[in-house]
């Protein structure tokens, strides 16, 4: 048996929509399918604007431009995240300020975040790890008090919710990813969700190389020109066509993942009771999307041993981030605020199980049994 860590999901209308896009003879970012995907987000999130982008990384970059990040500004974020979250900050000459995560969710520790606030704090970037939302009520209350902008890295958060609303609807802006390793995919892709109306007018310009081309296309001006800083944050119609099909079937794809998540969670309950491992947690005000199923082993050595044991059995489990505060570029461009105890400890003990929509019940049982066997044989 071979069980890979990830296989991208398939949805019904990918080929059909791509053929339609080819037939429309309009393949750049203002085409029908980009509009339809943006509409989908507006309907589901009630956001002010959604920009379908070439990646989550580019969506975060666009958010940095809209937030006017530059040298001297500080951006608070967890060290336990993907490179992109901090890289977009360094790219514009601002300083990433790394804080610790909470032990239960591996999400930004709000108390540590509050302590990291200085007069230079311009943005805070919560990362919804494993699709489980950060404590956005507390973070937004601190934003109201201190005036910083909240840009959520919701790369992993599609179809997850917080207090009954989609995670992307929290924060002034939020960025999703549709990279092939995420729940909903189009190869490479992302979306910038703008929830605060004050960023909308500039977003039209920033996304289109800093020009007012959109006004020109809408017939509001008779020629367009360079207005502001920007880049090309537009997605190809071919990828957007694929994405629309995935979004339309996203609830079904998520439901399949959630069933596997539950099966893992139940399957590992006994081992947790016996003190062999700690299962991931979902706070009561969060609804997950089964982006990841992870567990914490009791030591880094035990994680390495389980990883090899599963590999031997054909099962591809994986660790996750090397904390950014200890990465070469993190040391060069960022600084640490407070203790990194939880990050340093838990990042070394975390292991992710195979998770993708088309796994079967038998696949998941096989993985669960192998993990049980590992502990039984010890």
Ligand X SMILES: *Cc1c(COP(=O)(O)O)cnc(C)c1O
Given the rule CB under 6 A, which residues bind ligand X?
Answer: 55-57, 81-82, 84-85, 127, 153, 155-156, 177, 179, 190
- Give the other-Cβ count within 10 Å of 200's Cβ: 13
Shortest reach from residue 61's CB to ligand X, in Å: 9
Task: Pick between residue 202 and residue 320 the one whose CB is nearest to ligand X.
Answer: 320
- Let me know if 145 is exposed, middle or buried by CB neighbors in 10 A (0-12, 13-18, 19+): exposed
- Give the other-Cβ count within 10 Å of 311's Cβ: 11
Shortest reach from residue 8's CB to ligand X, in Å: 13
SS (H, E, C) 273-298: HCCCEEECCCCCCEECCCCCCEEEEC
Task: Pick between residue 151 and residue 367 the one whose CB is nearest to ligand X.
Answer: 151
Shortest reach from residue 321's CB to ligand X, in Å: 9
158: tokens are: 């599609």
Task: Pick between residue 127 and residue 149 the one whose CB is nearest to ligand X.
Answer: 127
Task: Pick between residue 109 and residue 153 the one whose CB is nearest to ligand X.
Answer: 153
133: tokens are: 């939302």
Task: Pick between residue 40 and residue 366 the one whose CB is nearest to ligand X.
Answer: 40
Our CA angle for 89, 45, 144, nearest 5°, is: 55
Q: Which of 8, 46, 87, 31 is nearest to 238 (CA)?
A: 31
Region of 12 (left: φ > 0; alpha: ψ -120 to 50; beta: rest) is: alpha
Shortest reach from residue 314's CB to ligand X, in Å: 26
Task: Pick between residue 123 and residue 155 the one whose CB is nearest to ligand X.
Answer: 155
How far is it, in rounded angstroms, from Cα 375 to Cα 179? 34
Shortest reach from residue 235's CB to ligand X, in Å: 11
Shortest reach from residue 180's CB to ligand X, in Å: 9
């Amino acid at each position: 048996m071979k069980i890979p860590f990830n296989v991208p999901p398939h949805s019904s209308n990918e080929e059909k929509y791509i053929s339609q896009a080819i037939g429309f003879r309009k393949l750049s970012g203002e085409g029908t399918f980009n509009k339809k995907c943006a509409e989908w987000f507006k309907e589901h999130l009630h956001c002010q604007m959604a920009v379908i982008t070439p990646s989550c990384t580019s969506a975060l970059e666009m958010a940095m431009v809209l937030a006017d990040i530059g040298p001297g500004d500080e951006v608070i974020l967890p060290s336990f995240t993907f490179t992109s979250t901090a890289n977009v900050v360094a790219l514009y000459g601002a300083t990433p300020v790394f804080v610790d995560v909470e032990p239960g969710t591996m999400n930004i520790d709000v108390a540590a975040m509050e302590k990291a606030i200085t007069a230079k704090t311009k943005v805070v970037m919560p990362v919804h790890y494993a699709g489980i939302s950060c404590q956005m009520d507390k973070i937004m209350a601190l934003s109201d008090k201190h005036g910083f902008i909240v840009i959520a890295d919701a790369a992993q958060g599609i179809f997850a919710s917080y207090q009954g609303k989609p995670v992307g609807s929290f924060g002034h802006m939020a960025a999703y990813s549709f990279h092939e390793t995420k729940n909903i995919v189009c190869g490479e892709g992302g979306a910038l969700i703008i929830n605060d109306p004050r960023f909308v007018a500039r977003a039209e310009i920033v996304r289109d190389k800093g020009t007012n081309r959109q006004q020109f296309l809408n017939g509001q001006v008779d020629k367009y020109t360079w207005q502001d800083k920007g880049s090309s944050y537009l997605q190809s119609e071919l990828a957007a066509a694929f994405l629309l099909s995935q979004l339309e079937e996203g609830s079904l794809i998520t439901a399949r993942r959630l069933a596997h998540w539950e099966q893992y969670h139940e399957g590992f309950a006994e081992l947790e009771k016996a003190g062999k491992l700690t299962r991931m947690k979902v706070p009561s005000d969060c609804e997950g999307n089964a982006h990841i199923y992870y567990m914490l082993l009791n030591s880094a050595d035990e994680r390495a041993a389980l990883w090899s044991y599963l590999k031997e059995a054909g099962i591809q489990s994986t660790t996750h981030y090397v904390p950014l505060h200890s990465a070469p570029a993190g040391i060069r461009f960022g600084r640490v605020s407070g203790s990194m105890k939880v990050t340093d400890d838990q990042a070394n003990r975390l292991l992710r199980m195979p998770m993708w929509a088309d796994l079967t019940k038998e696949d998941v049982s096989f993985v669960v049994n192998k993990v049980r066997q590992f502990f039984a044989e010890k």
